[in-house]
Structure 1
Amino acid sequence: MNAPTRILICDDQPLIRTGFSTIIDAQPDLEVAGECGDGHTAIDLARRLDPDLVVMDVRMPILDGIEATRRLAGAGVEHPVKVLVVTTFNLDEYVYEALRAGASGFLLKDAPPGQLLHGIRTVAAGAALLAPEVTRQLVGRYATRIRPVPDAEDDIALAPRELEVLRLIANGMSNSEIAETLVLSQETVKTYVSRILTKLDLRDRVQAVVYAFRRGLVT
């Protein structure tokens, strides 16, 4: 059997940590590697415990979850850790900043336990936990903050079809929508997406969206 996915829980409310731990430890494929109440301790524990994923709150003392996420999963981190941000604050600004910092997903604390577990498994498996409609909303509202690199399209090492798929990802399309638009099978689209992420050294679809805007592929 595969070893369970090890999770570090970071939240400044003990009751929340206890609730998350109870839900997670009840699953045969998941286990809690550790708990803490601030971002600074989360960074220290992540380096010592080497969890597969960190469930991270946003507003915490000493060091907030956004900055902790940046130091654990942001660009340039030598050994990045997957981060799922879970917060009570349903603000687009937090979603955007968390994803820019390197988080692979974003959930609210009032989500049902099943959704939390789905989010943990999704992010642990290397996928981004963002519905296409959320991607569209964020991109539409914050695209102006992502400064494009001038005349950079020619430097992108993608085949024409891969470039086309990347543009559709950046427009918030799901795999099924891309498949329908390009008259391809969903398996073929998955292959293209995987190839794009590998070629561009991107972690997930969220990073692909930001990359596309920075390269001026979407306006």
Structure 2
Amino acid sequence: MTRVPVAVYAGDPILEFGVAQQLRPRPEVEVLRPSEQARAEVSLVVIDRLDDAAGQLLRRLQRTSSVRTGLIVSEFEQDALQTTIECGVAAVLRRSEADQDRMVGLITALVRGEGMLPGDMLGRLLDHVGKLQRSATAAVRPILSTLNTREVEVLRLIADGFDTREIAVKMSYSERTVKNILQEVTTRLQLRNRAHAVGYVMRHGLI
């Protein structure tokens, strides 16, 4: 069995020593000394709570290392979830549940490219994602409401590669009318040109 090289980071030296001592007897894990941490395949951060110092550590690991990070934490407050996501933390375990087997399970899950969250944190994450999706939808609605049917159709045809003359024929409009429609859209949405207009509404899922 290939042992997984693990770098342990903790809020204080005693905590770091305790976690390392729990993991060292396990044949699945190789606990690295500080001078060896560049060899790590997993970073394991052990803290009491996600305060500013812990957040800085997680961000530093995210910037300077390509390895996956797991977090063992005593108190996980409501606003800590977003920080862990932003810092690239892939697995979380509560310290009260962090026995030897569970810590090894977290490490092996990270090596396999998997994530791990306690059930209540997973529920919070799903709620968080749902709120983000609802916010994005709410942001699109005002844009969608400013476009009428023929404006959307003109933009869709431009996105499909038709030029002004071909659009005019397809929609039974004059070329001047098509140009005016496009001018109205770009002016209203403060866009530079037709390519910008098409890219903008496609990004927002309007066509």
How does the TM-score come out when normalised to structure 2?
0.54
Paired residue type of 2:101: G
Tell me if the contact between 1:99 and 1:105 (Cα under 8 Å) persists in the aligned partners: no
CA gap 1:137/1:216 in 2 versus in 1, 3 angstroms: farther
Hey, what does 2:103 align to over in structure 1? 116
Contact 2:15 2:46 in 1 (8 A): no
Aligned to 1:70: 59
Structure 2 residue 7 is matched with structure 1 residue 21 = no
| Inter-partner Cα distance in structure 2 for 1:128 and 1:140 | 17
> Which residue of structure 2 aligns with residue 6 of structure 1?
5
Letter in 2 for 1:57: V
- Where do 5+ consecutive residues of structure 1 fail to align? 36-44, 152-214
* Contact residue 92 and residue 118 of structure 2 kept, 8 A: no
What corresponds to 2:85 in structure 1? 99
What's the CA shift for 1:17? 1.4
**Residues 107, 100 of structure 1: CA spacing in aligned structure 2 closer, same or farther, 3 A cutoff?**
same
Letter in 2 for 1:100: E
Query: Which of structures 1 and 2 has the bigger CA Rg?
Result: 2
- Please state if 1:88 is matched with 2:88: no
**RMSD of the alignment, in Å?**
3.4
Distance of aligned partners of 1:138 and 1:216 in 2 relative to their CA distance in 1, 3 Å threshold? farther
Is the CA contact (8 Å cut-off) linking 1:6 and 1:53 kept in structure 2?
yes
Per-residue deviation, 1:6 = 0.8
Cα distance in structure 2, aligned partners of 1:49 and 1:16? 21
Change (3 A) 1:30 1:12: same
Paired letter, 2:14: L
Q: Residue type matched to 1:56 in 2? A: V
- Structure 2: distance between partners of 1:133 and 1:27: 29
Give the aligned length: 139
The 1:97–1:145 alpha-carbon spacing in structure 2 relative to 1, beyond 3 Å, is: farther
**Alpha-carbon distance between aligned partners in 2 of 1:117 and 1:56, rounded to the nearest angstrom:** 14
SS at match of 1:26: coil
Alignment check: 8 A CA contact 1:95 1:106 kept: no
Distance 1:81 1:216 in 2: 33
Cα offset, 1:25, TM superposition? 0.9
> How far off its partner does 1:70 sit?
2.5
1-structure distance, mates of 2:108, 2:130: 29
Indicate yes or no: 2:139 matched with 1:140. Answer: no
